[in-house]
A and B are shown apart, each in its own frame.
Chain A
Amino acid sequence: MNDLTPTREQREAALEGMGCKRKRVEDIRFTQGKGNYVDDVKLPGMLHGDFVRSPHPHARVKKIDDSEALKVPGVLAVITAETLKTVNLAWMPTLAGDVQMVLADGKVLFQNQEVAFVVATDRYAADDGINKVIVEYEPLPPLVDPFKSMDKDAPVLREDLVGKTSGAHGPRKHDNHIFEWTVGDKELTDAAFNKAEVKIKEMISYHRTHPSPLETCQCVCSFDKIKGELTIYGTFQAPHVIRTVVALIAKLPEQKIHVIAPDIGGGFGNKVGAYPGYICAAVASIVTGKPVKWVEDRIENLTATSFARDYHMTTEIAATRDGKVTGLRVHVLADHGAFDACADPSKWPAGFFNIVTGSYDFPTAHLAVDGVYTNKAPGGVAYRCSFRVTEAAYCIERAMDILAQKLKMDPAELRLKNFIKPEQFPYHSALGWEYDSGDYHTAMRKMMETTGYAALRKEQAEKREAFKRGETREVMGLGISFFTEIVGAGPSKNCDILGIAMFDSCEIRMHPTGAGIARMGTKSQGQGHETTWAQIIATEIGIPADNIMVEEGNTDTAPYGLGTYGSRSTPVAGAAIAMAARKIKAKAQMIAAYRLEVHEDDLEFDIDGFRVKGLPEKFMSMKDICWAAYNSVPPGMEPGLEAVSYYDPPNMTYPFGAYLCVMDIDVDTGVYKVRRFYALDDCGTRINPMIIEGQVHGGLTEAFAIAMGQEIRYDEVGNVVTGSFMDFFMPTAVETPHWETDFTVTPSPHHPIGAKGVGESPNVGGVPAFSNAVNDAFSFLGSTHIQMPHDFWRNWKAAKDLGAVA
């Protein structure tokens, strides 16, 4: 040892492993405009496709005349349902077990539904073409209100299902009924309500919204007739699943389908499902023999690709007079639009909504969800959440506030009284989940202390008095939310997509010089996987993160994985990385033992190599072991240093958090000011604190948008009235609040590195915090619940309805 020998700290820092705020490797290309997104893909002879879309929400298609369109210079083909029928692709299976028209087959069921696909030499010619396709419609009565969908005289939407008394998820009660899903003990829950000292009941709606990533959905399909191979570049959050789906429905051999997801400009769940554009571009490429690009515009994205939420939740809590909850009963009416194309695991028709008991120790609960069809866009994606967790968290967090109000208890105290206690983990919830770990009381108390919660309540009480005296026209709200997420789908015993179990994968290959490549089944859409995955490997095997290249999104090279959504990457793929790295490490240990001439058990791993126990100078670095793996392995051992892991998690992970929003609202204008927003997240082991903080900021901004204005709204005859960023609230830097972040660390006991996932937590926890702040602000005027979104007009209306405005 001399002065130049790196210290332990220096060796550790050189790795840039877990816990380090490593700067993102992706940014080198993104900041220079050198990303490679789907629209940047240009193939020789490439054509462009564009859709003719229905102006009607519900109409019979009498006739499609493409003769004038085909005369337009540059237009080569017009594809309709009739064309698709010749290749048996007029309808496609959805992820939720329903079927969906690819192009209007006989009738249209929502405004802007795809009716015909025009293929032309460039996008301008394609646009000229769609304007010349003449479609004759016979309008039918639209069904907009989901509460009227099962009325006796409701128009029948899905004529293909008429007479079918059962669907993918059991019996159907009506032609417009999709499924009923019930969970929990009804008898026990009813009994709890019968003897309850206190009860609340409220219809809590979570309005329809949309993920709208800045890059819309798009693809380039190229069919090679000679080889019989189809290559698809696309904005896919789950490239392997897309490959399998294409193989199944197009009857192509799976090895001849190459799916490539290059850089993706945000996904948020929008890019999980399969859309008609993908099918039509593939068919167009087969028909024309040329590559075909389809790029959705913003209006198409907002009006025709998958929406989110649209849950109407009648919620009841039974409790004792001193505030102990004794039962939860929830009935959900779920508006799924024209086709049930929800991106949920197969056996969960309403996703993981049964996490609705939240962070509280409900002795019994019962849940029933009815899914119905309406004349709206199909889908139902997990928009920055794990399969309907946002709805569940909103439901329970609003309901707990309503109960606190009824009991005249502080909402924080009510929560502390009912939290699952640390010693109860692993905790079995009344609706069937096993929570892995949690320390809710510590998180909540830290939030209350850091924000000065007691002082804020005191200030609020004074302001209320001042308001009553007419000295101010501002009301102050404190919005608490405490959420438990359920992420990491999932154990194959629980979760699959179209029968494919939801594991994930990693393959690591170390090269002789001590550099390596990791290939993944996941696909980053901005989460920074290229940076963080290398950090896990760096810590696990002692090779600097800079020496590990991470590659995702190419189904030819990556091991099969289920992709990135539902905050599953770190809980599932993160574990696969650790397990693959440990296989590498185990082989490296054998090589080191051979080279150092000791027994394997005499070696210990020390940051970046193996050391002989008790003989610190006898050390072999991982870099040297990599070299040795290719030239001097123990006799009988295969050369090389690589491993693959397919990780099927034993359970979900359950990150949690405590949020507080402080808001002032001017009753005369409805204008709100978010004075403070504090978010404490516990996502278990933290891989890159910088990236976690960035994910929290982003999730909170989306939560802010949803709670405070963003909505996909339809008028009473089925027109979408929020079809562009003119009408669909997109917060800018001006209105977005400042975020304060904080954390506790409660590792997952079953995850190899204890990490739980965080990307969606701020959206799940953020929406109820904002909504509770608004509701709390108005509660002293006598309201119990005001529906979202809480834009200025609605706030003013609420104040007026409560008599605060003349």
Chain B
Amino acid sequence: MAKTHVTMKVNGAEVEGLVEPRTLLVHFIRENLQMTGTHIGCETTHCGACTVDIDGMSVKSCTMFAVQAQGSDITTVEGMANADGTLSALQEGFRMMHGLQCGFCTPGMIVRAHRLLKENPSPSEPEIRMGISGNICRCTGYQNIVRAIQYAAAKINGVEFQEAAE
């Protein structure tokens, strides 16, 4: 099948590659760019393990073609740490609040939460739950993921993290 040349920015770096028109973005990221943090869980846009940030929107990369991402600005989980390489507030929140177990959904969850906090820096618990409803986790029961995002929001907003009362 004839291949198309694509260029895009991924985690701040210009990248390019030759892909078939049918190549999914997630495969381009994982196979061509060798960045394996973005995972594949369902291939039907349900689980969110493949979530990446494209031009300021959370997108399921398992149901988007690489050619559709031509010229776009993409951030994957590999671009989530602070500039100095330390864990970002969100990544730290997931660790501190035990917001992950097997870690397979975590990259998509963190990328999604990153956009959620950009859109709504102080979300309520229902807003967080709705905000991550496109991301399935099979291990944690979500409660600690919600706390992880609350922890990150507090840190980003420069306020002290306070556990909501039971």
Give chain A's interface residues, CB within 8 Å of chain B: 23-24, 26-37, 39-40, 42, 122-124, 212-216, 263-266, 268, 297-298, 525-528, 690-691, 693-702, 724-726, 730, 732-734, 736, 738-740
B contact patch SS: loop
- Residues facing A in B22-73 (CB within 8 A) are 22-23, 27, 30-31, 34-44, 46-47, 49
B95 touches A265 (CB 8 A): no
CB-defined contacts of A724 to chain B, threshold 8 Å: 42, 44, 46
CB-defined contacts of B143 to chain A, threshold 8 Å: 697, 736, 738-739
Interface check B132, CB cutoff 8 A = yes
Interface check B96, CB cutoff 8 A = yes
B140 touches A33 (CB 8 A): no
CB-defined contacts of A732 to chain B, threshold 8 Å: 129, 132-136, 142
B141 touches A31 (CB 8 A): no
CB-defined contacts of B105 to chain A, threshold 8 Å: 214, 265
How close is B13's CB to chain A, nearest CB, in angstroms? 15
Closest A residue, CB atoms, query B125 = A738
CB-defined contacts of A528 to chain B, threshold 8 Å: 101
A694 interface neighbour in B38, B44, B46, B140, Cβ under 8 Å: B140
How close is A741's CB to chain B, nearest CB, in angstroms? 10
Closest B residue, CB atoms, query A40 = B36
CB-defined contacts of A39 to chain B, threshold 8 Å: 30, 36, 39-40
Closest B residue, CB atoms, query A264 = B102
B46 touches A24 (CB 8 A): no
* Alpha-carbon distance between A268 and B23 when the two chains are bound, in angstroms: 32
CB-defined contacts of A738 to chain B, threshold 8 Å: 143
Interface check B150, CB cutoff 8 A = no
* Alpha-carbon distance between A467 and B44 when the two chains are bound, in angstroms: 43
CB-defined contacts of A29 to chain B, threshold 8 Å: 103
With A23-B95, A214-B105, A691-B98 in contact, is A701–B42 under 8 Å at CB?
no
A124 touches B20 (CB 8 A): yes
**Other CB < 8 Å A-B pairs besides A31-B87, A726-B46, 9 of them?**
A33-B35, A33-B77, A34-B37, A265-B102, A525-B102, A693-B98, A698-B141, A724-B44, A739-B143
A697 touches B137 (CB 8 A): no
A31 touches B106 (CB 8 A): yes
A35 touches B138 (CB 8 A): no
A-B contact pairs, 5 of them (CB 8 A): A33-B80, A37-B36, A266-B102, A701-B140, A724-B46
With A266-B138, A725-B42 in contact, is A31–B91 under 8 Å at CB?
yes
A215 touches B104 (CB 8 A): yes
With A724-B44, A733-B133 in contact, is A35–B140 under 8 Å at CB?
no
How close is A40's CB to chain B, nearest CB, in angstroms? 4
CB-defined contacts of A697 to chain B, threshold 8 Å: 140-144
* Alpha-carbon distance between A740 and B166 when the two chains are bound, in angstroms: 8
CB-defined contacts of A42 to chain B, threshold 8 Å: 34
Give chain B's interface residues, CB within 8 Å of chain A: 20, 22-23, 27, 30-31, 34-44, 46-47, 49, 76-78, 80-81, 87, 91, 94-96, 98, 100-107, 110, 128-130, 132-146, 166
With A214-B136, A215-B104 in contact, is A33–B37 under 8 Å at CB?
yes
How close is B38's CB to chain A, nearest CB, in angstroms? 7
How close is B131's CB to chain A, nearest CB, in angstroms? 8
With A266-B104, A527-B101 in contact, is A214–B77 under 8 Å at CB?
no
CB-defined contacts of B47 to chain A, threshold 8 Å: 214, 298, 725, 730
B138 touches A124 (CB 8 A): no
How close is B91's CB to chain A, nearest CB, in angstroms? 4
CB-defined contacts of B107 to chain A, threshold 8 Å: 33
How close is A348's CB to chain B, nearest CB, in angstroms? 27
Closest A residue, CB atoms, query B37 = A33
With A525-B102, A698-B101, A740-B166 in contact, is A32–B91 under 8 Å at CB?
yes
CB-defined contacts of A31 to chain B, threshold 8 Å: 80, 87, 91, 94-95, 100, 103, 106, 110
- Top 5 nearest A-B pairs (CB, nearest first) are A33-B37, A30-B103, A265-B104, A526-B102, A697-B141
B138 interface neighbour in A36, A122, A268, Cβ under 8 Å: A268
CB-defined contacts of B103 to chain A, threshold 8 Å: 26-27, 29-31, 35, 263, 265, 526
How close is B111's CB to chain A, nearest CB, in angstroms? 9
With A525-B102, A730-B47 in contact, is A214–B137 under 8 Å at CB?
yes
How close is A522's CB to chain B, nearest CB, in angstroms? 15
* Alpha-carbon distance between A696 and B129 when the two chains are bound, in angstroms: 19
CB-defined contacts of A698 to chain B, threshold 8 Å: 101, 138-141
CB-defined contacts of B34 to chain A, threshold 8 Å: 42
B106 touches A212 (CB 8 A): no
CB-defined contacts of B136 to chain A, threshold 8 Å: 214, 725, 730, 732
A733 touches B100 (CB 8 A): no
Max chain B CB contacts within 10 Å: which of A265, A298, A700, A725? Answer: A265
How close is A305's CB to chain B, nearest CB, in angstroms? 15
With A40-B36, A214-B41, A691-B98 in contact, is A32–B87 under 8 Å at CB?
yes
* Alpha-carbon distance between A695 and B128 when the two chains are bound, in angstroms: 22
How close is B103's CB to chain A, nearest CB, in angstroms? 3
* Alpha-carbon distance between A694 and B20 when the two chains are bound, in angstroms: 42
B42 touches A694 (CB 8 A): no
* Alpha-carbon distance between A697 and B145 when the two chains are bound, in angstroms: 11
CB-defined contacts of A266 to chain B, threshold 8 Å: 101-102, 104, 138-139
B39 interface neighbour in A265, A736, A740, Cβ under 8 Å: A265
Closest A residue, CB atoms, query B102 = A526
How close is A213's CB to chain B, nearest CB, in angstroms? 6
B81 interface neighbour in A32, A35, A124, Cβ under 8 Å: A32
B129 touches A734 (CB 8 A): yes
A24 touches B95 (CB 8 A): yes
* Alpha-carbon distance between A732 and B96 when the two chains are bound, in angstroms: 22
Closest B residue, CB atoms, query A693 = B98
A739 touches B100 (CB 8 A): no
Closest B residue, CB atoms, query A295 = B40
With A33-B78, A697-B144 in contact, is A733–B98 under 8 Å at CB?
no
CB-defined contacts of A699 to chain B, threshold 8 Å: 141
Max chain A CB contacts within 10 Å: which of B34, B110, B129, B143? Answer: B143
B132 touches A733 (CB 8 A): yes
* Alpha-carbon distance between A724 and B41 when the two chains are bound, in angstroms: 11
* Alpha-carbon distance between A698 and B144 when the two chains are bound, in angstroms: 10
Closest B residue, CB atoms, query A688 = B98
How close is A703's CB to chain B, nearest CB, in angstroms? 10
* Alpha-carbon distance between A83 and B10 when the two chains are bound, in angstroms: 44
Closest B residue, CB atoms, query A216 = B41
B95 touches A700 (CB 8 A): no
With A265-B39, A526-B102 in contact, is A32–B94 under 8 Å at CB?
no
B130 touches A24 (CB 8 A): no
A298 touches B98 (CB 8 A): no
With A27-B94, A298-B44 in contact, is A32–B80 under 8 Å at CB?
yes
